[in-house]
Amino acid sequence: MSTQHDANDDFAAMLAEYEPAARGTGPKRGQMVKGRVVSISAGSVFLDLGGKSEGVLEREELLDKDGELSVKIGDSIEARVVEMDGPAGCVVLRRGIAKGADASEALQGVYDAGIPVEGLVTALNKGGLEVEVAGMRAFCPISQIDARFVEDANHYVGQKFQFKITRLEQGRGKNPNIVLSRRKLLEEENAAQAAVLRETLREGLVVKGTVTTLKDYGVFVDIGGIEGMLHISELGHGRVGHPSEVLSVGQQIDVKVVKIEGAVGNRKEERISLSIKALHDSPWENVGSMFKEGQKVRGTVVRLQPFGAFVELAPGVEGLVHISELGAGRRLNHPREVLAEGAAVEVTILSIDLAQQRISLSMKSPEELPDQGADRQAVQEVNAANNKGLGTFADLLKGKF
């Protein structure tokens, strides 16, 4: 008899331990939840939230513009938790805030609970934006409309966003003083995304990102709550004068994580280097089939240096015309005396070094080329002497930035 009694006690103890744990896994106040409509009454709509949780939503919130109910049993809808223990033990849900006399009281409730509200940006004024929330006028400082610096806020007017109420004070009239922030919500979302991403982030990973800022030296990309740097030299194998030539703010791109430095999670120390170039094969892999020694080709002068001119023969493939091969008929102090960047030129390929990714070119006339053995030897000697300082053509291009 006592054995049975002990077993019942043990079971009761286990149940008591389980119930708080089970409740801890349910929806929380302020959380967005998704549920399936299981019952509709004269004033309420009941939802199955899963995990033995049931939610209740006022019927009025689900009426269309003609006053007809917009959902039926079996439909799935999203709403936000505003109260954990409502009628019959249901979770009380809300999709919006009703306008009218009860709106101010409802706003106070969501403010106290830290629940976001939906607002329509109606106008731009000095220092911020006017926002309509539940039929009442609210204010959002420009610094709080986005997670990043906003130079022109006009494009926000007419749009609906979720906001967090940061200040709610009863004013002299019926309308309280309401101050909003969208930035706080975005930062919370970014932090949550970043925490998930850091669990899997590694060098070599290809991720999707959004261009957030363009600089002369490169591009900042949001890859999911974490910002990485895409250097201008990593935008592609071809030469790019400025990132704006190939990308724009807000553009969705695929990037490869090429380096992670500093303390991950510490925004001041964390440095994540990205690349688009690493996603594509090097154009030098096809150089052997595209070009031959002695071939005449057309190219574009992309850079002038005291020792010669770099000519782009194909996207990402450049050759060097040594100053002695410019064919000016006189001694030159600098290539700029006869050439300008952007000029289209015809050149002859003197040699191709695939291992070092170098192509030696000449602009001399055909009759001058046969007896240029000494000059070619001079070019080779100059290349060898500058090997340590110049590196590959890619290194030379990176040096500019």
The per-residue DSSP string of 136-190 comes to EEEEEEGGGSSSS--S--GGGTT-EEEEEEEEEE--SSSS-EEEEESHHHHHHHH
Return the half-sphere exposure (C-beta side, CA atoms, 13 A cut-off) of residue 50: 8
Residue labelled with tokens 């939840």: 33
3-state helix, strand, coil in the chain (%, to 5): 25, 35, 35
* Residue 144, C-beta contacts closer than 8 angstroms, at least 6 positions apart: 128, 166, 180, 181, 182, 183, 184
Nearest alpha-carbon partner for 142 in 151, 85, 281: 151
Q: Any idea where the domains of the chain sit in the sequence? A: 22-94, 103-186, 200-279, 290-399
Give residue 66's pLDDT.
84
Q: One fold for both 22-94 and 103-186?
A: yes
CATH 2.40.50.140 applies to domain 22-94: yes
**Alpha carbons 366 and 287: distance in angstroms, whole number:** 23
Which class would CATH give 200-279?
A: mainly beta
Cα 81 from Cα 147, distance rounded (Å)? 25
CA 53 to chain centre: 36
Cα 44–47–53 angle (5° rounding)?
A: 120
> CA-CA distance, 143 to 129, in Å (whole number)?
10
List pLDDT tens digits, range 219-233: 999 998 888 999 998
Strands 227-231 and 271-275: parallel
Does 272 or 80 have the greater pLDDT score? 272
Cα 337–352–238 angle (5° rounding)? 65
For residue 246 the two structure tokens come to 């190939």
pLDDT digits (tens, 9 = 90+) for 303-360: 899 999 999 998 888 999 999 888 777 888 999 999 998 899 999 999 998 888 899 9
Instruction: Give per-residue burial for 166-192: e unless 16+ CB within 10 Å, then b.
Output: eebeeeeeeebebbbbbbbbbeeebee
User: Residue 237 has what pLDDT?
Assistant: 80
Can you name the residues that pair with 77 across neighbouring β-strands?
A: 35
- The mean-pLDDT minimum among 189-193, 271-275, 333-337, 396-400 falls in 396-400
pLDDT recorded at residue 301? 92
Q: Domain spanning 103-186: which superfamily?
A: Nucleic acid-binding proteins (2.40.50.140)
Task: Write out the DSSP string of 318-370.
Answer: EEEEEGGGS--SS--S-GGGT--TT-EEEEEEEEEETTTTEEEEE-S-TTTST
Strands of 203-334, DSSP E: 206-215, 218-222, 227-231, 252-261, 271-275, 296-305, 308-314, 317-322
* pLDDT tens string 197-249: 888 888 889 999 999 899 999 999 999 888 899 999 899 887 788 999 889 98
What is residue 26's predicted lDDT score, i.e. its pLDDT? 66
pLDDT of residue 130: 94
More confident site: 111 or 370: 111
Yes or no: say if 213 and 248 are a contact pair by the CB < 8 Å rule: no
CA 309 to chain CA centroid, Å, is 37
Helix, strand or coil, per DSSP, at residue 223: coil
pTM (predicted TM-score): 0.52
SS3 label, residue 252:
strand
Going by pLDDT thresholds of 50, 70 and 90, the confidence category of residue 172 is low
Q: What is the pLDDT of residues 93-138, one digit of tens each?
A: 887 665 554 567 777 877 887 788 889 999 998 889 999 998 889 9
- For the chain, how many residues are written? 401
Whether 39 shows a pLDDT value over 60: the answer reads yes
Homologous superfamily (CATH) of 290-399 is Nucleic acid-binding proteins (2.40.50.140)
